[in-house]
Structure 1
Amino acid sequence: MGWRRAIAVSLSLALAGCAGYVPPPPAFHAVLNEPYRFDSGDRLRITVFEQPSLTNSYVVDQAGYIAFPLVNLVPARGRTADQLAAELGLKLRNGFLRNPDVSVEVDQYRPFFVMGEVRNAGQYPYVPGMTAQNAIAIAGGFTARGNQSAVDITRQINGEVMTGRVPTSDPIRAGDTIYVRERLF
C-alpha cells in the first residue's frame, strides 16, 4: 500500500506543477516578426555619408540614449534602425548639415543570459537566428538534472517584462533570459 501512496503523491506534485503553467501571451511570439528595437547594451554603427568625423560606433547607454556629436543625447531605446536614422538626420539638418544621409545598423547586439540547470550559467553574446537550444549549447549544455524539453524565457516587450515556457527550439532575442528548470523525473 505504501508504494501506491508514493505514486499518488508524485502524480499530485507533477500535476500541481503543470497547473501553474501559463502559455506565453501572443505578444511573446509576435515580437519575433517585428523589426529589431534598440535597448541598453546595443552597439550601433552609425554612418553619416561624406562625414567621416561623425561615422562611428555608439553604445546605447543604461538610460537608453546614444551620445552623438553635435546633437548630444539622442533617445535610442525602443527605436528601429530606420526610426533612429530619421531622427538623427532631422537633428543634423537643424543647423549642422544641409542634407545628411544617415544609416544605422547593429554593430553588436546586447547579450542574452542563461540560468538554471546549465553547466556555465552567465551572459553571452547574441547572434541573430539563435534558438534556446543554441543558447544552452553555448552555456555548456544541460546539467544531468536539466529539463531538456522546455525552458522559461523572460523578455521585455514594449517596456513590459513577460515570461513564457517554450520548447527549446524557440527563437530567442537579444536581451532574453533563458532559465532551464530542473526536471521532475
Structure 2
Amino acid sequence: MRFAVACTSFAALTLSACAGHPPIKSTASLTVVDDVAGLPAPERADLVIGDRPSLIGPLDTISVEVFGLPDLSREAQVDASGRIAMPLVGTIDARGKTADELSRSIETALAQQYIRDPKVTINIKNSVSQVVTVDGAVIEPGLYPVTNQMTLMRAVASAKGLSEYAKVNDVVILRTVSGKRLAGLYNLAAIRRGYYADPAIYANDVIIVGDSPQRRLFKDFVSLAPLLAAPLVAVLNSK
C-alpha cells in the first residue's frame, strides 16, 4: 500500500513537472513532429538506396554472356591497363565503364564482325578497384570494398570500429573531385546524434580517424569546441 502511494505521488510529481515546462518547438536545424509516439515505419521506397554507378577497373573480374553464342561467353579478369580480350572483338577498354556501357561497347564491336543483333550481358563478379582506405585510430585499418550503401559510419564499422583512444571529432575524408584534392572534417558523435547526415563514401576515398596532418590543416578553422553544426570542407593546395 505504501509503495502504491509512493508511485502515485511520483507520477503526480512527474506530471506536474512536465506541465510546468513549455512544449518543445522546432528550431532552424530541428523540426519537431507532433503526435508521434516513435519513429514511423519506412515506406518500401525508403528501403531502397539510390543507385551509384559501379565502375569497372583494373584487375576486376567480370562475366560476359553473349546471348545465343556460348563460345563467346566467358569470365574474364580486366588487365592492369583496364582492358579485356574477347574472340572476334580483340582487346577492348573496360576501365571506367559501367557494366551496361561495356555491354554496349562489346555489342557494337560484335555487330561490326557481322554478328546479327548481338545481346551482351556483363556482371561484375569481383571488384578490387572499388575500395576505400580506412586508416588511423580504428581497430583494423585497411582497404574495404565500396558498395552502393557505403557511408562514413559503415566504413568505420567495416574496420571493426574505433580504437580505444580514438577522437570521434577528428575524422577526415580525402577525395579527388575534378582533379582537385579535397578534405572534409567530420564528427562521428554529431552524426550519431543526428546533427547532420552520415556522408556517402565513394571508391578511392581515404578515411583517417584521429590526429593526422590532414586534421591539423583545419586548426585555423576549428576551435577546441566539437564540430556539430556541419562538416568542414577544404581544398588541399599542392605545393
- What's the TM-score, normalizing by structure 1? 0.67
Secondary structure of 2:157's partner? helix
Match of 1:164 in 2: 183
Matched residues, number: 153
Question: Highest Rg: 1 or 2?
Answer: 2
Of 196, 205, 230, which residue of structure 2 is paired with 1:176?
205
Identity %: 30
What amino acid sits opposite 1:180 in the alignment?
V
Determine helix, strand or coil for the equivalent of 1:123.
Answer: strand
Question: Helix, strand or coil: the match of 2:65?
Answer: strand
- Uncovered stretches (5+) of structure 2, i.e. residues with no partner: 1-49, 189-197, 217-223, 225-239
Tell me: CA distance 1:40–1:145, structure 2 relative to 1, closer, same or farther (3 Å).
farther
SS in structure 2 at match of 1:105: strand
Deviation at 1:141, TM superposition (A): 1.1
Cα distance 1:66–1:121, how it changes in 2: closer, same or farther (>3 A)?
same
After the TM superposition, which parts of structure 1 deviate over 6 Å for at least 4 consecutive aligned residues? Answer: none
Task: Answer 1 or 2: which has greater strand percent.
Answer: 1
Contact 1:45/1:105 (8 A) holds in 2 = yes
CA RMSD of aligned residues (A): 2.9
| Equivalent in the alignment of 1:92 | 110
Corresponding residue number in structure 2 for 1:27: none
- Which of the pair has the greater relative contact order for Cα pairs under 8 Å at 6+ separation? 1
> Contact 2:52/2:148 (CA < 8 Å) preserved in 1?
no
User: What CA distance in whole angstroms lies between the structure 1 residues aligned with 2:199 and 2:126?
Assistant: 22
Q: Structure 2: how far apart are the matches of 1:77 and 1:171?
A: 23
Counterpart selection for 1:133 from 114, 131, 153: 153
Structure-2 change in CA distance of 1:34 and 1:123 (3 Å): closer
Question: What is the aligned partner in structure 1 of residue 133 from structure 2?
Answer: 113
Question: Is there any run of 5+ residues in structure 1 with no aligned partner, and where?
Answer: 1-31
1:13 aligns to what?
Answer: none
User: Judging changes above 3 Å, is the alpha-carbon distance between structure 1 residues 67 and 161 closer, same or farther for their aligned structure 2 residues?
Assistant: farther
Preserved contact between residue 166 and residue 209 of structure 2 (Cα < 8 Å): yes
In 1, the alpha carbon distance for the partners of 2:177 and 2:88 equals: 31
- Equivalent position to 2:122, from 71, 96, 104: 104
Could you tell me whether the CA contact under 8 Å between 1:150 and 1:165 is conserved in 2? Answer: no
Q: CA deviation at 1:34?
A: 5.8
CA spacing shift, 1:79–1:155, aligned 2, 3 Å: farther
User: Matches of 1:176 and 1:129 in 2, distance apart?
Assistant: 14
Question: 1:1-48 CA distances to partner (integer Å, 9 max, x unpaired)?
Answer: xxxxxxxxxxxxxxxxxxxxxxxxxxxxxxx97633322243323221
Q: Match for 1:42 among 49, 60, 69?
A: 60
Q: Retained in 1: the 8 A contact 2:132–2:145?
A: yes
